C-alpha cells in the first residue's frame, strides 16, 4: 500500500503542478455558463418524425402519410420503432393496421397534444375508409413520465463526454511524457513500485480530475434534480477506461509532439457519435462500439427518463471493457514502457 501511495502522490503533484485540477474546474464553470446563459432552451423550428410499421393488407395509410409534409421512415418491427424513438425524442411511432392505427407516444406529450394527434389520425383513417368513427385507433406510451430535453440541457451529455474522453485522454498521456522527459521512469524502474501501482496511480488521479469536473458541471446545470449515483458511477468507469487507453497508446511514443497526431485522430473518432445524437437519422451501427456513444446516450437517459435500463447496460459494458483493457495495458506497459528504460 505504501508504494502505491508514494506513486499516487507523485502523480497527484504532477497533475497539480500542471494545473490539471484548475483547468477542469475552469472548463466546468465555463461549460455551465454556456449551458445556462448562451445556448437557448428552444429553437424556432420544430418537426416530428414518424417511424411507421405497416401491418395493413394494402398500403393506402402509408401512402397517405408518405405524401404528407411529415418526415416518415419505414421500420420492420415494433421494437425498431421503440429503439428509433428512444434516440429521436421528436419522433412518434405509427403501427398501421387494417382495423385502425396504433400511435406510440414518447411519454412527455401533454394530454392536449396527444388528443390533437389522435384526432388528426382518426380523421385520416375515417377519410380513407369512408367511415365516421374516431375510435379507430389505440395508443401506446413508450415511457410514462419521460421528458423531452430542451436544447441547452441536451448539450450536457456531449460536454460531459467531451471532458471525460478528450481531456482525460490527454492528461494521462501528458503525465507519462513528462516522466519520460524528466527521467522519472528510470527512477521508478529501480523503485519497489511495480507496474500495477504505476498504472493505478495515474488512472486514479485522472478519475479524480474527471469526477471533479462532473460534480461541478452537473451541480451548476442540473442542481439536485438528477441521479448523481448513476452519473458518478458512469464518470468513474468512463474515466478509468479512457485512462487505460491513454496509457496504452502513449507508451509507444517518446514525446507529446509525436503523440499529438494520434490524439487528434482518437478524439475525432470519439466525436463521431455526436452526429447521430443530434441527428438520429444518421445512426451508423459502428458508432455504437465507440465509448463516447454509450456515455452520451446514457447521460441523456439519466437526465430525461425515470427508467435507466440503457444506463445500467452502459455501466456493465464499461466494466467489461475495463476488465479486458486493464490486463492488456498492464502487460504491455510492463514489457514496452518500463523495461525499455533500462536498455
**Tens-place pLDDT, residues 80-117:** 888 888 878 778 888 877 677 788 888 777 777 777 77
Q: Taking the mean position of all CA atoms in its chain, how far away is CA 93?
A: 24
In a domain, 214, yes or no: yes
- Residue 224 burial by CB count (10 A; 0-12/13-18/19+): exposed, middle or buried? exposed
Q: How many domains does the chain have?
A: 2
- Residue 257 burial by CB count (10 A; 0-12/13-18/19+): exposed, middle or buried? exposed
In a domain, 43, yes or no: no
Q: Which of 107, 124, 141 is the last residue of a domain?
A: 141
Measured in degrees and rounded to the nearest 5, phi and psi for residue 102 equal: -105, 125
- Give yes or no: residues 246 and 321 share one domain: yes
Q: How far apart are the first and last CA of the chain?
A: 29
- Give yes or no: residues 160 and 91 share one domain: no
In a domain, 44, yes or no: no
* 148-175 mean pLDDT: 90
- Give yes or no: residues 30 and 165 share one domain: yes
In a domain, 187, yes or no: yes
Q: Give the helix/strand (H/E) hosting 108.
A: none
DSSP per-residue letters across 123-185: HHHHHHHT---TT-EEEEESSTT--PPPHHHHHHHHHHHHIIIIIHHHHHHHHHHHHHHHTHH
> What local confidence, expressed as pLDDT, does residue 77 receive?
84
- Give yes or no: residues 275 and 172 share one domain: yes
In a domain, 328, yes or no: yes
| Chain segment 265-287, per-residue pLDDT in tens | 999 999 999 988 888 777 788 99
Average pLDDT, the chain: 82
Residue 300 grid coordinates: 441523456
- Give yes or no: residues 247 and 124 share one domain: no
- Give yes or no: residues 66 and 100 share one domain: yes
| Residues 6+ positions from 141 with CB-CB distance below 8 Å | 104, 105, 106, 107
Domain around 56: 49-141
In a domain, 63, yes or no: yes
- Give yes or no: residues 307 and 168 share one domain: yes
The answer to whether residues 173 and 220 touch, using CB atoms and an 8 Å cutoff, is: no
pTM of the model: 0.77
Torsion 105-109-111-117 (CA) sign: negative
Q: At 134, is the pLDDT very low, low, confident or very high (cuts 50, 70, 90)?
A: very low
Q: Which of 100, 115, 141 is the last residue of a domain?
A: 141
The answer to whether residues 287 and 293 touch, using CB atoms and an 8 Å cutoff, is: yes
Amino acid at each position: 500500500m505504501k508504494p502505491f501511495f508514494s506513486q499516487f502522490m507523485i502523480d497527484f503533484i504532477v497533475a497539480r503542478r500542471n494545473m490539471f485540477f484548475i483547468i477542469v474546474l475552469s472548463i466546468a464553470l465555463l461549460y455551465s455558463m454556456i449551458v445556462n446563459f448562451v445556448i437557448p432552451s428552444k429553437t424556432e423550428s420544430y418537426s416530428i418524425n414518424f417511424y411507421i410499421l405497416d401491418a395493413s393488407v394494402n398500403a393506402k395509410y402509408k401512402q397517405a402519410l408518405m405524401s404528407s409534409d411529415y418526415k416518415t421512415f419505414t421500420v420492420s418491427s415494433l421494437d425498431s420503432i421503440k429503439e428509433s424513438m428512444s434516440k429521436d425524442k421528436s419522433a412518434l411511432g405509427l403501427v398501421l393496421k387494417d382495423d385502425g392505427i396504433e400511435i406510440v407516444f414518447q411519454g412527455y406529450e401533454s394530454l392536449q397534444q396527444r388528443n390533437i394527434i389522435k384526432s388528426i389520425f382518426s380523421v385520416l383513417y375515417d377519410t380513407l375508409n369512408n367511415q365516421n368513427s374516431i375510435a379507430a385507433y389505440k395508443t401506446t406510451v413508450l415511457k410514462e413520465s419521460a421528458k423531452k430535453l430542451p436544447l441547452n440541457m441536451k448539450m450536457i451529455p456531449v460536454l460531459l463526454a467531451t471532458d471525460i474522453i478528450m481531456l482525460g485522454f490527454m492528461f494521462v498521456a501528458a503525465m507519462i511524457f513528462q516522466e519520460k522527459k524528466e527521467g522519472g521512469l528510470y527512477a521508478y524502474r529501480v523503485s519497489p513500485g511495480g507496474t500495477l501501482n504505476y498504472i493505478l496511480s495515474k488512472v486514479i488521479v485522472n478519475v479524480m480530475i474527471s469526477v471533479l469536473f462532473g460534480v461541478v458541471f452537473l451541480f451548476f446545470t442540473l442542481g439536485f434534480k438528477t441521479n448523481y449515483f448513476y452519473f458518478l458511477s458512469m464518470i468513474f468507469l468512463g474515466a478509468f477506461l479512457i485512462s487505460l487507453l491513454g496509457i496504452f497508446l502513449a507508451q509507444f511514443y517518446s514525446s507529446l509532439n509525436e503523440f499529438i497526431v494520434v490524439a487528434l485522430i482518437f478524439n475525432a473518432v470519439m466525436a463521431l457519435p455526436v452526429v447521430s445524437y443530434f441527428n438520429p437519422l444518421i445512426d451508423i451501427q459502428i458508432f455504437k462500439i465507440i465509448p463516447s456513444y454509450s456515455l452520451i446516450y446514457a447521460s441523456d437517459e439519466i437526465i430525461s427518463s425515470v427508467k435507466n435500463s440503457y444506463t445500467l447496460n452502459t455501466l456493465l459494458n464499461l466494466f467489461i471493457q475495463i476488465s479486458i483493457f486493464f490486463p492488456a495495458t498492464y502487460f504491455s506497459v510492463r514489457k514496452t514502457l518500463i523495461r525499455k528504460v533500462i536498455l
